[in-house]
Structure 1
Amino acid sequence: MFLEQSITENAIDVSHTLSEEQQMNSYHFQVVRSGIRSVQADPNGRQDAGIVSTIKQIGQTIHLISCEMLRYSSADRSLHATTMAVLELLGKHSWSTKLVIVLAAVATSFGDFWLITQLYPTNPLASSIASMKGLRNKIEVSKSLEQKLKAFRYLVEKMVSVTKCMVEFEMLPVQYTTLDYDAMAAMKTQIHIASYWTYAHPVYVTATEKKINSGLAHLFEEVHLDNQKVLSTLFALKDDYPLWDYQSEEKVSMVVLRNKEVILFISTLTIKLEKLLLIIQQLQNHPQNGSEKPFVIVWVPIVFCIPWSNAEERAFKKMSNIIPWYSLYEPSKLSLSVTKFIQEMWHFQGDPIMVVLDSKGKVTSLNAMDMISIWGPKAYPFSVSREQELWEEQTWTIEFLLDDIDPLVSYWMQDGRIICLYGSNNIGWVQELTNQIKDITKAGILLELIYVGSNYDEDTRDILSTIIKEKLSSYLPQTMIRIFWLRLESILSSKLRLGNTDKSDFILREVKSLLSFESSKKGWLLISKGSSTEILKLYGNKVLELLSLFQVWGHKVRKWGFMGAIRKALDPPSVIDQCNYYSITPYTEDLNENIALCKKCKCPMEKNFMYQCKINT
């Protein structure tokens, strides 16, 4: 088609010289100024009655055409029928005049929307109209504008280009238009076709997105033999090989996804590196059993504008060389309606999500990001029931917190060493803590002090620099620190999404506590031995006071162990002079690793062995 060819051949980058508001305000001013000139009759201010009457009639036609376009978005009739209704309203005007009127109708409808978005924050009437039109809040208005503005302006630019071409053709002198009858007939045919599609496209824009969204929603509700129909429809890019294989560096077809569980990694082109590294690390550090994974990941980059800019194309090429999964080969050709479906139905708002489709193309999870961030492939098949099952099995340990982020720390835990995790944005607190820990290690106690920072990157970077320079303690690298906190956020997000509460969920309480510590200038400390489920949590000056008294309670380490000695130092003196409570516990392999507390006086209990004859049992 002529219009499509014009769009393809004349695609241009949206200008970045002016802001969106500046450009639109300039455009509105030019239109109003042009309209004022058209009704000026002479220098004395007299107006021609015929001109005024004509303008009034055209204004009515513009209004009617605008109404027809809006009717299509709610009425059950075809695009062709609405387009023909528009043509009928245009009557016997020349083809170029018809196009100008249609452009005016489009500008009227869009101008109404633009005016609401500009006045919405401060004008009560605009706010009420926005609510009536379904734009319920400021955020929703701004998002609608951001997503639609560039695409709509691009379409209008092409419509204006076609219209100018027709106006210039109709203004050619007669001697140029009567030389070749066959060429003129062919050109008029092209004009009629181009005009038809120029009328049809704005009508289509007003309603097609809604209809395609509904069609895609029904598609995902249907039962399919495999995932090919769903994926081919979702990524209908008119290409038999729409995917890029990171490993082979070749284009591949959708067939490589058949009978696989497909995870769609949906993101913008500006992915936070740490989030990406967390997912990649979790998938690599926890390999799936078996030679072949039952699932594959496809990166789907989203940009809410048409066409992509050169900068966006470069950003995509750069990211596609980093992401170790399949990706769309030409995501810039992804339909705007599909983008809108992903946003509205799958709740994509800009932060990366991982939508899971089973082998038949059915959505089993709208976002498996948290599950993969916490457990990696172990979370397969990434369903809500699997997520609940994993939490039922999970215990609160330092091992779970660090999750193989640092291989050396994992070795220390397996070696049964005391692990102390700490964080602070106060370098004075850090220096005092590390000095006291060094005094304790000189007494022959094997413990490892590891700095894990906070979510405040700038403060953490400065503290970490000092720790490295002065060799104060062990530490996680900057990127690993960020991954550590992102994973904590995923744990919190998963727990809350499943409806857990502080009162009933111990892990949720502990994670919330850690995330609240991150903003503390005083610092915090977690102490645990190996993979024990017992974790002591201290913060602020209490940590420094306790460690400074090591000479007082340190002698108890030989009898009670380091954890038990600290606990005895923390607990108030017992009012019980003598306690004879005992408990018989069946033997297990890890029994010697755990320290049992007396249920009566809360003191550590001594271990004794009892032998029982099993002849009568």
Structure 2
Amino acid sequence: MAIFNMLSSYSWGAKVVLTLAAFAVKFGEFWLISQLFTSNSLAKSMALLKRPAILGNSQTLKPYFDALRKRINAMINVTECIVELTELPSKYIPIDEPPLSTTMAHIRSATFCIISNVVTCARQITGLVEMRHEFPTFTSEAWDLSTSANKFSSIHEHLQIRLLTCKEHMNGKMLMEAFEDFKRTIETPQVDNLKILQNIFGKEENLFNPDKTKVSINVMRRKHVLLLISDLDISQEEIRVLEVVYKARVSSGHNYEIIWLPIVDKTAWNDGCQKISSLQSIMSWYTVSHQFSIKPAVIKYIREVWGFVKKPIAVTLNPQGKVLCPNALNMMSMWGNSAFPFSSEKEESTWQAKAWTFELL
């Protein structure tokens, strides 16, 4: 109880770390000697000077030491888990709210268990050190230590599950925060489009230009940009239709660029590299590099706000980064570059003009 009172002002993670550290300082020398004296001449000399009873009884003590090592390792694993749980950022996972609040009881229980077991280990080692030439049979104590190690393994597994739950909760909050930040950025008027594009593509050289040279997103500053968003099932026909319009843009007097942004599950990204390369080879516009990974918040925005599900979409951004149309593919395939700048207003006015033409006919 004195140990708990001494550590009362420390966090639960600090309690177990300090307890194990004190145990290591006090019994580290004994532990090293007992483990190394058979193979290390210096350890053997120290054993002769300080722990002569150890010599000649290594086989008798081996089950005990093996069980003790297993127990200590199990306590260290639990300690690492406790520390990780107690160091989760309170901004995203407050200690007084689930799931961390419901985990605290398990953390406290595990902490008490570790401290009491450290005291037991210390008492047993002290008793062993004070013995001289007569060694009892350590089978029962070794069995108790192994049983305790198994108990700590069970505690560790349970805390790992709790930690995973807490991290999922925390990641969900962080995702929502990043989503709101991105939403606020893209919906706030900007001087140019660079800040928005950097939020999507990063500041590094994450793009391949039409010549397949790596460049940064800065080359898109103050340009009309179309974000071609698709999965890896985009068809060659869809690419071909867009290719015709894209190649005719200069002769039509319109300056815009297309960036292909594939939405691929992170776990399938490596497996899809060959397919990505194959699609890139038939695209004459900008594409992302294989190492690029879209932020989850951006993917969430693309799906929830721009409405991407499965079919390709082309989101148009003006030179200031304002979204002109969440999907310009239909107007591009129907009217080509005459629909530039591919805005929702342009689409509506073009339809109205076509309606007048039909009426006159």
What is the rounded CA distance, in whole Å, between the counterparts of 1:341 and 1:99 in structure 2? 37
Deviations 1:242-271 (A, max 9, x none): 111122x21111110001011100000111
**What is the deviation of 1:87?**
6.9
Q: What letter corresponds to residue 335 of structure 1 in structure 2? A: K
Q: Which residue of 2 aligns with 1:100?
A: 157
Deviations 1:165-195 (A, max 9, x none): xxxxxxxxxxxxxxxxxxxxxxxxxxxxxxx
Q: Aligned equivalents of 2:320 and 2:153: distance in 1? A: 51
The equivalent position to 1:229 in structure 2, one of 188, 192, 195, is 195
Pick the aligned partner of 1:366 from 326, 340, 343. 326
Check if 1:338 corresponds to 2:259.
Answer: no
Alignment of 1:401-440 (within 5 A): none
1:48-447 map, 5 Å: 78-79=91-92, 81-82=94-95, 88-89=104-105, 90-91=107-108, 92=111, 99-105=156-162, 201-236=167-202, 240-247=204-211, 249-285=212-248, 287-290=250-253, 293-303=254-264, 305-330=265-290, 333-394=293-354
Q: Distance in 1 between matches of 2:269 and 2:182?
A: 28
Q: Is the 8 A contact 1:286 1:378 kept in 2?
A: no
The offset of 1:362, in angstroms, is 1.5
Mapped contact 2:248–2:337 kept (Cα < 8 A): no
TM-score of the pair, normalised by structure 2: 0.56
**Using a 3 Å threshold, how does the CA distance of structure 1 residues 366 and 87 change in structure 2: closer, same or farther?**
same
CA distance in 2, matches of 1:265, 1:377: 16
In structure 1, distance between residues paired with 2:293 and 2:341: 31
Judging changes above 3 Å, is the alpha-carbon distance between structure 1 residues 254 and 351 closer, same or farther for their aligned structure 2 residues?
same
Cα distance change of structure 1 residues 254 and 344 upon mapping to structure 2, 3 Å threshold? same
Count of aligned positions:
231
Do 1:260 and 1:296's aligned partners in 2 also have CA atoms closer than 8 Å? yes
Q: Secondary structure at the match of 2:320?
A: coil
Shift in Å, 1:285: 4.8
Moved more, 362-371 or 92-101: 92-101
Task: Find the residue that maps to 2:267 and give its secondary structure.
Answer: coil
**Equivalent position of 2:142 in the other structure:** none
Q: Which residue of 1 aligns with 2:75?
A: none
**TM-score, with normalisation over the residues of structure 1?**
0.34
2:240 and 2:155 mapped to 1: Cα distance? 55
Q: 1:101 to 1:322 in 2, by over 3 A?
A: same
RMSD: 3.2
Find the structure with the greater CA-based Rg.
1
Identical residues among aligned pairs (%): 26
**Residue 220 of structure 1: CA displacement?**
1.2
AA aligned opposite 2:218: V
Q: Is the 8 A contact 1:261 1:294 kept in 2?
A: yes
Residues 51-91 of structure 1: CA deviation (Å, up to 9, x unaligned)? xxxxxxxxxxxxxx9xxx9xx9xxxx613645975774412
Letter in 1 for 2:200: L
Mapped contact 1:283–1:372 kept (Cα < 8 A): no
Pair 366,349 (structure 1): closer, same or farther in 2 beyond 3 Å? same
For 1:203 and 1:102, how far apart are their aligned partners in 2? 15
- Give the unaligned 5+ runs of structure 1: 1-64, 110-198, 398-505, 508-532, 535-617
Contact 2:232 2:275 in 1 (8 A): yes
> How far did 1:97 drift?
5.9
1:264–1:273 CA distance, 2 compared to 1 (3 A):
same
